[in-house]
Amino acid sequence: MRGRTGGVLGLLAVAATWGVFWGGWAALIPDLKDALELDTRGLGLSLFAVPVAAVPAMVFTGRLADRFAQHTLPAATVVFAAGITLTAFTTSVPLFVVALLLVGAGSGGIEVALNATTAAHEARDGVRLFNKVHAATPLAMVLAGPAAGLARQLDVSRQVVLFVVAALVLVSAALAVDRRGWQGADAPDETALPVTGSRWLRPLLWVGAVAATVLLMENAVEQWGAVHLQQDLGTGPLLGSAGPAAYMAGLSAGRMLAQWRGDRFAEATLVRIGAVVGGCGLAVGAFAGLPVLTLAGFALAGIGLAPMVPTLLAAVGRSVEPGRRSTAISVVTTTAYAGFLASPPLVGLLAAGIGLPPALGVVAALGLVVLLGAQVLRLLPQPDLHPAEVTPPTLS
């Protein structure tokens, strides 16, 4: 049993500490803004350094992981810790931007390396891990946000908070060192999708597009849930902040539930169920007139959306030849990230035209797109498909 679960603690630790930083980051931004004497425009431009560095890091990390295997995740995590540490030392805007570039590169690298390593461990040990690993991040974010806010309320400096987080990230990097490597994960598989030529890219991009739609829905709640509660339902800041927290709690619970019972369903079926539940929950959150119902809707949305991206990534990990698995996962992860980035401005533009509740309703309707998009899994070879779902793969 020990051999089959070796390395899982490291995956969970990296996923959790990644969530600790991003969960507490929002509570530290106001202090950094004041310390650096940034206006809103300057702060926004500075923060844009994170995605500017994250996207190319995602692209290159897949190729690096195909070459350096189990060493990639600890290395990306160390880069992330270095960026956090440099942010603590920030005394000028240029240094702040450099620190955020490093944070973005490390964060993007972790996203791909963590997914690639999880896929390799699933292949190596014959276990299901994606939902378990992905559940750690939202749970950590739910706890980290209030913790960072409380620390600042108690006059703990942002430097101390960032140093503590950086230390936790470094510990997770050490735990992620896996001496067993990815052996057993690189045996040839004649049924796998070869990552060569141009035709291999099409199914991966389709899967990435479905994942991007899911992340667009997710980030809509994360970024606009509190605004909706305060602006449209008249709640105070405390209850307003409970909106994203309820969603994150549902996200973590949904992934743990999928880890526990998800193997009873075919992957496409699990995505379809999630699309229906997530879309309905988001619709309740958008149009319910009572804050308690809105919070319940956001939590239900989290439960529904929870297993979809992990399920899609797990399917890709099993369908691609082992030597190019990480590259394939980087394609899907990078494509999906586009949905995450597009969500805040898209919802903002819709809200400016039709109001925030209807805008969130439009986002909820994207659940229908995901429901239909579950069919893309049939483009991937699926050696472990539920008997009712077996269909010969086609790339045409």
Return the structure tokens found at 213: 């739609």
Instruction: For residues 363 and 348, give the distance between their C-alpha atoms in angstroms, rounded to a whole number.
Output: 12
Per-residue pLDDT of the chain (396 residues; tens, 9 = 90+): 344 444 788 899 999 999 899 888 877 777 777 788 777 677 777 778 888 898 899 888 888 888 877 788 999 999 999 999 998 888 888 898 999 999 999 999 998 999 888 888 887 877 888 888 888 888 888 888 778 777 877 878 888 889 999 999 999 999 988 877 675 444 444 444 555 545 667 888 888 899 999 999 988 887 777 777 777 887 776 676 677 788 888 888 888 888 887 778 788 888 899 899 999 999 998 898 788 898 899 899 999 998 888 888 888 888 777 777 888 888 888 898 888 888 878 888 888 888 888 988 999 999 999 999 888 777 776 554 333 333 333 332
Give the pLDDT confidence score for residue 14 in this predicted structure.
93
Those residues whose C-beta lies under 8 Å from the C-beta of residue 156, and which sit 6 or more positions away, are none
Region for 128 from its dihedrals, namely left if φ exceeds 0, alpha if ψ lies in -120 to 50, beta otherwise: beta
Instruction: For residues 73 and 172, give the distance between their C-alpha atoms in angstroms, rounded to a whole number.
Output: 10
Region for 379 from its dihedrals, namely left if φ exceeds 0, alpha if ψ lies in -120 to 50, beta otherwise: alpha
- The CATH number, out of the four listed (3.90.79.10, 3.40.50.300, 3.40.50.150, 1.20.1250.20), of the domain defined by the range 190-396: 1.20.1250.20
Instruction: For residues 324 and 302, give the distance between their C-alpha atoms in angstroms, rounded to a whole number.
Output: 32
CATH class of 1-187: mainly alpha
Residue with tokens 């586009």: 338
Give the pLDDT confidence score for residue 189 in this predicted structure.
47
Residue 267: name the closest of 372, 365, 378 by CA: 378
**Contact assessment for residue 282 and residue 195, using Cβ atoms and an 8 Å cutoff:** no
Residues of the chain with CATH 1.20.1250.20: 1-187, 190-396
